[in-house]
Structure 1
Amino acid sequence: MIENSNNSDIQAGDQHSNHAEHDKSAPEKQQTIHSDDDGHDHNATDTDSGWKSHWQLLLAIIILVAMLVLEFGFEFVPPFPANLIIFSAAYLLAGYNVLYMAYRKAKRFDFFNEFFLMSVATIGAFVIGSYSEGVAVMAFYSVGEWFQDAAVNRAKRSIQALLDIRPDKVAVQRDGGFVVVDPKEVKPEEIIQIKPGEKVALDGELLSEKASFNTAALTGESKPDTKNKGEQIYAGMINLNTVSEIKVTSLFQDSKLSKILEMVQDATSRKSQTQLFISRFAKIYTPIVFALALAVCFIPFFFVDPYVFNVWFYRALVFLVISCPCALVVSIPLGYFGGIGLASRNGILFKGSNFLDVMTEINVVVMDKTGTLTEGIFKVQDIKSKEIPQEELLKYAAAIESQSTHPIGLAVVEHAGKDSIKGIEISNVEEISGHGLKGTIAGKEVLAGNTKLMKKFGIEYPAEIDAIVYTIVVLSLDKKYAGHITIADKIKEDALQAIKDLHELKIQTVMLSGDKQTVVDEVARNLGIDNAYGDLLPEGKVEKVTALKNEGKKIAFVGDGVNDAPVVALADAGIAMGGLGSDATIETADIVIQNDQPSKIVTSIKIGKLTKKIVWQNIILAMVVKVIVLALGAGGVATLWEAVIADVGVSLLAILNAVRIQRLKI
């Protein structure tokens, strides 16, 4: 069974608090132990002691079955005290761990727990001579506990195995050749070699001309990603077809994958409000159950004649067995582990199970434009020239924009090609803030920028330019309008479907952007976004989100997690889009979408809803069955056999229901 883990003191209510410091060394792959405060160790691998305890339990069940066959099949019962000794041996084999845990907790004056409850119930059965039932309760309870531990360990292993895929060895260039070393020994600026089929161990820059990588472990997408020389490569990628060389840019423990793994491990310890409620509920529920069991045993003395102590004591024991809260205590965190693991496999990282709950309540998704709904990569869409050929206009534009680092300028240069401006004389280049560039090219005065630049220098241009929706670069040569270039940021492929899916979920969509209103309106119209606001500074975005929150809306904000940090902190859930390349996004956001797909916003909401649905199915199932059997037990209808079968049965059903999250496809 699982109770509160050592790391559970991280409060789910503080959604935007800093994470606790983690040990940055790589976790052991073969043996990861999650220790609970009740002393249980849930090992990620089977150990000798684990197998030993399984054989002890199996032996106890064999002895129990043999004794029952003798009693009911051959009507032979060993005489006292032989039968007591045999059943006691089986009882200790099956329940030693439970008795030990009850003793440890009792030393701390903690009597209201499932271990103490089961110990009292089974020892009580021995006291009144119900030996076989006492052994059966302990054996079946231990079987249920074994299944629960196995399910929890599997969920934790699936989360760790999903991301902890870094190899133990890497080939690094030293002394004129490549030597195989531990990745922890490799330093930045060293060169490593990755052969086809091998996993990248460290973050770095690709030195080879071109290579293809499988990025599924990081982004949830199995489609090969082709990288060119100079592009960033991350630990966890798998080299597909050619021997590649990579210049390391960060230490092993500082890789993006290490940070992501730490975040996922931390997520399993941050409790949802449902988990916190059940933990508090169990602390109140258990002492109430003990009190009711005592009432069932002794109150009839005053109302029933004749009062037979053994009869009412037996009913109280049944009451204790069925009241065990193990189905709730285990299946609920198991459900959230499954939800976090499912999200991770889909390239979505939740920083805590509390955010799975938060996403089920979202009714407004507020999105940034550039990099969230659009590619964030500007491309030349159209070129219009006057009195000179388009190719010549493009050369002038590329030449002067080559002196700028602005994304729009880079788009012009990329479209023209760097070779097109070789040999062109460029001088006296001046950047006019908020307007554009001025300079001299081949003896001609060149202006390149927005319409405000043209107005500033008194240059007339066609009126229809003011009506152009997209970003434009207007050019003049020797104070005469020469033409303009239209530039646009491409909308992402799945952005339209993402907005449609959000609307199907009855979620309002809002776009906030610092881009000009005409551009924002055009993107919103193409995608069907409900409300769109442009020309916004960061404080303007904060005002818009604050206004929505004042209306009682539950808000998820989707952006880059860095420039929009104030809005991310203000929103109920801050989602970073494409967070793989940025440490800051991983630190700032509550949820990180590792690729650039807006559709993952919908996926994260669906996973949250699915997880909450399964968790509440388990809660309702456990409570309904327990109430029914508690009533039957108090009324003398249910026996200890029926009580333990109901208890273990409910636990197993709840576990199977929770585990199925890990197999679902969203």
Structure 2
Amino acid sequence: MANEAEHNHDEHNHSEEHSHDHSHEDSHEESPYLYPIISLILLLLGIGLDYFYKNPSFWNETTRIIFYGIAFLLVGWDVLKIAFQNLTSGNVFTEFFLMSIATLGAFYIGEYPEGVAVMLFYAIGELFQGAAVSRAKRNIKALLDVRPNTANVFRENTWQISKPETIKVGEKILVKVGEKVPLDGIILTESSSFDTSALTGESKPQTIKQGEQVLAGMINLEKIIEVEVSKLFTESSIARILELVQNATSKKAPTELFIRKFAKIYTPIVVFLAIGLVFLPYFFIENYTFHTWLYRALIFLVISCPCALVISIPLGYFGGIGAASRNGILFKGSNYLDLMAKVTTVVMDKTGTLTKGVFKVQEIKTMIDEKLFLQYLKTVESHSTHPVAKAIIAYVNEAEIEELPTKIEGLEEISGHGMKGIIHGQTILVGNLKLLKKFDIIYGTELENIVETIVVVAIDSEMIGYVLIADQLKDDAQVAIQRLRAMGIQKTIMLSGDKSSIVQKTASLLGISAAYGDLLPENKVEKVQELKADASQLIAFVGDGINDAPVLALADVGIAMGGLGSDVAIETADVVIQTDQPSKIATAINISKKTKQIVWQNIGLAFGVKAIVLILGAGGLATMWEAVFADVGVALLAILNAVRVQNMKF
């Protein structure tokens, strides 16, 4: 059998050794199952006639050759054709050559059913393999097929339906309720709500306002919107991810490359051994019979076909890529599946990787009634656009607390400190500790040691309370570290540009083994270089793919979180976690380990069974039927084993 797994799922990658095309899907458009079914019926009928029909006037040698020949050509023509094409191009020693001479030899010595059986089971193996590859493709497409086929574009003073590929930057498109956004662009309508789950994994709808960016693949939920296209279809984030997946199989794992090289050396050795098996016994055995030793050599050739290896190994890796895609993880190549299985150290960014990158109220301390305290806060902060102010307003709104009925007077923003105003004739201050110092207001020194962002409130020169605000941990951040530790990865490191005290507290909460804060991008690079100095460590770095691009490129495996929103992530990272969940790091490692395990199981199965049957065949204890099992039967088992990774729960 050929390296059809690669050929079928990567049609654009016609390398020298895989430039052939012999899939039944391509050769016989009516149905890939038709010819194998007819061949099987003819084979069974022929075997029945051999055993039960003894009329030589009809069922003679000529009739048998014609009958079995038709059954043979129905399923073996493609293989014979490719073997001939390879011969004429100088590529003699291929698996097609082995199968061709073995089956034609079987016809030569009158073993017609065995010759047909080899090609028939090969064809059945092709069908199994094609089904497995199609399933893996469906897993990938189910995750990524979020592209609309058409777009409403404004041209010649009217709305026209057009292909997204034909729309240019600057053109205006219309997106109706329930439709997918066809291209990246800037929203021109006041605002709308969007389902972004296909891109970010976030089930909660997102409101995007006028002037903000919408991405291809988002679903418009609220009202008809107009969008000005900012990127060509081929440059949109989703198109680039789709291209990434289509090219994922072009980067081969070392195991795949080894098997390919091994087959090139192995095949000519097998051919010469088979020739030796035919002629050498003549010099050592008294009752030498050419027919007997030719039959054994043909068995030897059929057994020796490296089908199970050449098919099941690429299929195993492709299945791993498909299983990862089903779990929201995109590998750029099977070589990264191999590397991920060997990871010993996971280094992570903090903001946007383990935390949501969104400020949220963590704690409230007040010396007055909490509701009144929050009313004061809302009355002042509603006049600010600072992210901290927005976090406070969101918290107060969630608590359904209104502003004070009396409006604030004399509102003044003090740059770098906070805000000052008058409510009910009382002077109110809302801001940081520097604001209290500026107005000589006394506060406890313990506030200086607080890690989180602190917003203090004072009325008439007396502090009445404070709010602690911090970036919120992702829901599965703690689970992510626990899962990594459970998998034997004890070395987890956090590198962040955030202040050291916050980084250390986050690391402590999550159980991360080491953490470093106040780092510039170049400092992160230095830290990873220090880790790489230890050759025994294989390092995966996980970042948001924007400021972390240099480290993503430097690490043994670069993993981008939420990469669909970032071109840098797509370009630089080796793995993209589409769902933005840190727990998927462990899932990616687990899938990689299972994939590698299955690949090595297939290698062991193929070599083990072939070695046993080769010995039996050389000694005359195995027939062509055992040879068929050792070749195509083992290949079928290996294919079924490779498919298992797609059914596993991770």
TM-score by length of 2: 0.85
Shift of 1:5: 9.5
Q: Which residue of 2 aligns with 1:513?
A: 496
- Asked whether the equivalents of residues 2 and 40 of structure 1 are also in contact (C-alpha less than 8 Å), the reply is no
- Asked whether the equivalents of residues 6 and 36 of structure 1 are also in contact (C-alpha less than 8 Å), the reply is no
Equivalent runs, 1:225-624 vs 2, <5 Å: 225-230=205-210, 232-239=213-220, 246-381=227-362, 402=385, 407-408=387-388, 411=391, 426=412, 436=416, 462-472=444-454, 485-508=467-490, 509-551=492-534, 552-624=536-608
- Asked whether the equivalents of residues 94 and 138 of structure 1 are also in contact (C-alpha less than 8 Å), the reply is yes
Q: Which residue of 2 aligns with 1:3?
A: 3
Aligned residues: 631
Q: CA 1:225–1:605 in structure 2 vs 1: closer, same or farther (change >3 Å)? A: farther
Q: Which residue of 1 aligns with 2:195?
A: 213
Q: CA 1:89–1:383 in structure 2 vs 1: closer, same or farther (change >3 Å)? A: closer
Shift of 1:641: 1.9
Amino acid aligned to 1:61: L
Q: d(CA) in 2 for partners of 1:214 and 1:483?
A: 38
> Percent sequence identity over matched residues?
51
Shift of 1:590: 0.9
Shift of 1:248: 3.7
Q: Which residue of 1 aligns with 2:52?
A: 73
Given candidates 97, 103, 118, the residue that maps to 2:99 is 118
Q: Which moved more, 1:353-362 or 1:413-422?
A: 413-422
Shift of 1:264: 0.5
Q: Which residue of 2 aligns with 1:24?
A: none
Shift of 1:298: 2.2
Deviations along 1:454-508, whole A, 9 cap, x unmatched?
8899997532122212123578999998976532111111111111111111112
Q: CA 1:268–1:240 in structure 2 vs 1: closer, same or farther (change >3 Å)? A: farther
- Asked whether the equivalents of residues 340 and 353 of structure 1 are also in contact (C-alpha less than 8 Å), the reply is yes
- Asked whether the equivalents of residues 378 and 403 of structure 2 are also in contact (C-alpha less than 8 Å), the reply is no
Shift of 1:510: 1.4
Given candidates 128, 139, 164, the residue that maps to 1:147 is 128
Q: CA 1:604–1:450 in structure 2 vs 1: closer, same or farther (change >3 Å)? A: farther
Q: CA 1:645–1:196 in structure 2 vs 1: closer, same or farther (change >3 Å)? A: farther
Amino acid aligned to 1:229: K
Deviations along 1:23-69, whole A, 9 cap, x unmatched?
xxxx9xxx9776564344488x9567233775444333333322221
SS class of match (1:51):
coil
- Asked whether the equivalents of residues 208 and 214 of structure 2 are also in contact (C-alpha less than 8 Å), the reply is no
List runs of 5+ in structure 1 lacking aligned partners: 9-26, 431-435
Deviations along 1:258-292, whole A, 9 cap, x unmatched?
01100111112111111111111111221221122
TM-score by length of 1: 0.83
Q: CA 1:316–1:158 in structure 2 vs 1: closer, same or farther (change >3 Å)? A: same
Q: d(CA) in 2 for partners of 1:73 and 1:208?
A: 83
Given candidates 115, 132, 141, the residue that maps to 1:134 is 115
Shift of 1:74: 2.4
Q: d(CA) in 2 for partners of 1:157 and 1:647?
A: 29
The answer to whether 1:629 aligns with 2:609 is no
Q: d(CA) in 2 for partners of 1:308 and 1:369?
A: 76
- Asked whether the equivalents of residues 6 and 314 of structure 2 are also in contact (C-alpha less than 8 Å), the reply is no
Amino acid aligned to 1:531: A
Shift of 1:121: 0.7
- Asked whether the equivalents of residues 7 and 13 of structure 2 are also in contact (C-alpha less than 8 Å), the reply is no
Q: CA 1:624–1:225 in structure 2 vs 1: closer, same or farther (change >3 Å)? A: farther
The answer to whether 1:96 aligns with 2:68 is no
Q: d(CA) in 1 for partners of 2:497 and 2:439?
A: 26
Given candidates 601, 625, 645, the residue that maps to 1:641 is 625
Shift of 1:334: 1.2
Q: CA 1:554–1:459 in structure 2 vs 1: closer, same or farther (change >3 Å)? A: farther
Amino acid aligned to 1:93: L
Shift of 1:651: 1.2
- Asked whether the equivalents of residues 219 and 347 of structure 1 are also in contact (C-alpha less than 8 Å), the reply is no
Shift of 1:202: 2.2
Q: d(CA) in 1 for partners of 2:304 and 2:331?
A: 34
Shift of 1:605: 1.2
Q: Which residue of 2 aligns with 1:18?
A: none
Deviations along 1:413-451, whole A, 9 cap, x unmatched?
877999999985657x66xxxxx3599989x99996566
Q: CA 1:553–1:53 in structure 2 vs 1: closer, same or farther (change >3 Å)? A: closer
Deviations along 1:280-311, whole A, 9 cap, x unmatched?
11112212211221222222222211221211
The answer to whether 1:199 aligns with 2:183 is no
Q: Which moved more, 1:554-563 or 1:457-466?
A: 457-466
Q: d(CA) in 2 for partners of 1:303 and 1:192?
A: 84
Amino acid aligned to 2:531: L
Q: d(CA) in 2 for partners of 1:7 and 1:121?
A: 24
Q: CA 1:237–1:416 in structure 2 vs 1: closer, same or farther (change >3 Å)? A: closer
SS class of match (2:351):
coil
Q: d(CA) in 1 for partners of 2:512 and 2:62?
A: 80
Q: Which moved more, 1:484-493 or 1:550-559?
A: 484-493
- Cα RMSD for the two superposed structures: 3.9
- Asked whether the equivalents of residues 182 and 217 of structure 2 are also in contact (C-alpha less than 8 Å), the reply is yes
Amino acid aligned to 2:638: A
Q: d(CA) in 1 for partners of 2:554 and 2:34?
A: 54
Q: d(CA) in 2 for partners of 1:437 and 1:227?
A: 31
Deviations along 1:515-550, whole A, 9 cap, x unmatched?
222212221222122222222223332333233323
Amino acid aligned to 2:41: I
Amino acid aligned to 1:553: Q
SS class of match (1:532):
strand
Q: d(CA) in 1 for partners of 2:403 and 2:428?
A: 22
Q: CA 1:633–1:254 in structure 2 vs 1: closer, same or farther (change >3 Å)? A: same
Q: Which moved more, 1:602-611 or 1:474-483?
A: 474-483
Q: CA 1:127–1:280 in structure 2 vs 1: closer, same or farther (change >3 Å)? A: same
Q: d(CA) in 1 for partners of 2:471 and 2:342?
A: 32
